[in-house]
Amino acid sequence: MIELRNIEKRFGDNLVLKDVSVVIEEGSVTALVGPSGGGKSTLLRCINLLEIPTSGTVRIGEEALTFRPGERVATRDIQRLRRQTGMVFQNFQLFPHRTAIENVMEGLVTVLKWPAARARERALALLQKVGMAAKADAWPATLSGGQQQRVAIARALAPSPKVLLCDEPTSALDPELAQEVVDVLGQLASEGTTMVMATHDLRLASKIAREVVFLDAGVIVEKGPSAEVFGNPVHQRTKRFIATLRQEQGAAAKGEA
Amino acid sequence: MPHWLQLMLESLGPLLWAAFAFTAPLTLLSFAFGLAVGLVVALIRLFGPAPLVAVVRFYVWIIRGTPLLVQLFLIFYGLPAAGIVLDAFPAALIGFTLNIGAYSSEIIRAVIGSVPKGQWEAAYSIGMTWSQAMRRTILPQAGRVAVPPLSNTFISLVKDTSLAAAITVPELFQAAQRVVAVTYEPLILYIEAALIYLVMSSVLSALQTRLEKRLGRYGGFLEAQS
């Protein structure tokens, strides 16, 4: 279980997250949706502490860490919590100087000190899972965006994290390549991988996510099962946002056909 | 055999020996030590505490703002007045190392800064510590970008070692001067010395190209140019 309690995040005077509390069940998929600047990426990055909350508590499984304003947290504690997570980025961020399989092996070899042969075996199995085993020895620069993102998913999963965090995993991809990534994430979801994703992609949010958290201006406007939030939103703000998304993505889909 | 060719061939031995015994070691050692100094200075500038940053900025300011020849004179002829007496070769080695350290630190600082922030985050996201991220992710990518500008520094250094002649290091240029003192043939001897410098820097240029090819094998901007 992942718990974020009373999370507050300030950048200078700018309050980006205001007293946000969310509980994420093991094996569930949660989509963080909302307008740009609403705080969804920041909230996601507070889970693996790429952003350090100004105050609040982050708990992942047995590990928990409480933050208070002006108090530094030990790097070792941050690492302990972060190692419970894996992350997929909007721009993939594969290591360009390592091949696909080396990217997946990196965390196992460097961080977990696995012997290379064992790491290679696991990396290959993961590449197989995301349909990239044939490209194991390819350089990232030679792969399409969708392929890079699938390798990035394998890399994030390699150390067996308790949760997979996805920051706009399909936003840099055209719809066809995005579909590859949606398919892979959907498969992971059906296998019970705990996932939290910040996304604009309705396909991703409505088809894969079981829970939806709608964030605007740093507060949770609405949360609940995705069928309810998407099908029958309670708040005006949510209704308007979802209507806009539908319109945009409907238009985009027509434009392609 | 024409006179000039005979003279060149006769003096080739002492000139090449000087290049081998003094110019090459001075260049290689001061570049290696200088890079180490440059890396430390760059890391301090990027990540160090304010007082240390001030110290290394002062160092870079002094070295870049004063002539290399003056620095060499200060170390070799000036320091004995303060009770520090150095042989010519170590004095030159210290002078060139400090020089390379200052100039390369700016290059290293720039190339480390040029690696996208997302690469740090990707490294952190798979659990790496700062030093693991630095060693495994940032420096290899920065190193590739650093090859052309550092090659510039390296090639300049080969030629700049001729300044060590002025503090009595018997390197290539001084060897040429000595032959001139006996033969009174400055034109021929200095052309010969220039040609040997040209060969040495050409070899380095060729090495640079090979290194760029090897480091560029994973694609990206260096490949796009070739």
The distance in angstroms from the start CA to the end CA of chain B is 44
Q: Has domain B3-225 been given CATH number 3.30.565.10?
A: no
Contact A142 B219 (CB under 8 A): yes
Contact B130 A159 (CB under 8 A): no
Neighbour-count burial of B81, counting CB atoms closer than 10 A to its CB (0-12 exposed, 13-18 middle, 19+ buried): exposed
Residue A253 pLDDT grade (very low, low, confident, very high; cuts 50, 70, 90): low
Residue A255 pLDDT grade (very low, low, confident, very high; cuts 50, 70, 90): low
Nearest to B125 among A98, A141, A156 (CB): A156
Residue A172 pLDDT grade (very low, low, confident, very high; cuts 50, 70, 90): very high
Write the CB contacts of A45 (distance below 8 Å, at least 6 apart in sequence).
A51, A167
Residues of chain A with C-beta less than 8 angstroms from the C-beta of B130: 75
Neighbour-count burial of A237, counting CB atoms closer than 10 A to its CB (0-12 exposed, 13-18 middle, 19+ buried): middle
Measured at the CA of A27, the angle between CA A22 and CA A33, to 5 degrees, comes to 45
For the segment A84-133, what is each residue's pLDDT rounded down to a tens digit?
A: 999 999 999 999 999 999 999 999 999 999 999 999 999 999 999 999 99
Task: Name the CATH topology of A2-84+163-256.
Answer: Rossmann fold (3.40.50)
Contact A89 B126 (CB under 8 A): no
Q: Where along chain B do its domains lie?
A: 3-225
Tell me, what's the pLDDT at A214? 94
Candidate from A16-20, A235-239, B116-120 with smallest mean pLDDT? A235-239
Neighbour-count burial of B14, counting CB atoms closer than 10 A to its CB (0-12 exposed, 13-18 middle, 19+ buried): middle
Tell me, what's the pLDDT at B222? 42
Tell me, what's the pLDDT at B226? 37
Residues of chain A with C-beta less than 8 angstroms from the C-beta of B124: 50, 82
Contact A139 B217 (CB under 8 A): yes
Residues of chain A with C-beta less than 8 angstroms from the C-beta of B214: none
Q: Where along chain A do its domains lie?
A: 2-84+163-256, 93-160
**pTM: predicted TM-score of the whole model, two decimal places:** 0.89
Contact A139 B140 (CB under 8 A): no
| CA dist., res. A133 & res. A144, Å (int) | 15
8 A C-beta contact, residue A3 and residue A24: yes
Residues of chain B with C-beta less than 8 angstroms from the C-beta of A79: 127, 129
Complex confidence, ipTM: 0.94
Stretches where chain B sits below pLDDT 50 are 221-226
Q: Which helix (H) or strand (E) holds B64?
A: helix B50-65
Q: Which two tokens stand for residue B112?
A: 């480390």
Q: Identify the CA nearest to A153 among candidates A137, A169, A176.
A: A169
CA distance B164 to chain A (A): 40
For the segment A197-228, what is each residue's pLDDT rounded down to a tens digit?
A: 999 888 888 889 999 999 999 999 999 998 88
Tell me, what's the pLDDT at B111? 97
Q: Which two tokens stand for residue A178?
A: 């995005």
Supply the angle between the helices B3-18 and B186-215 in degrees, to the nearest 10.
50
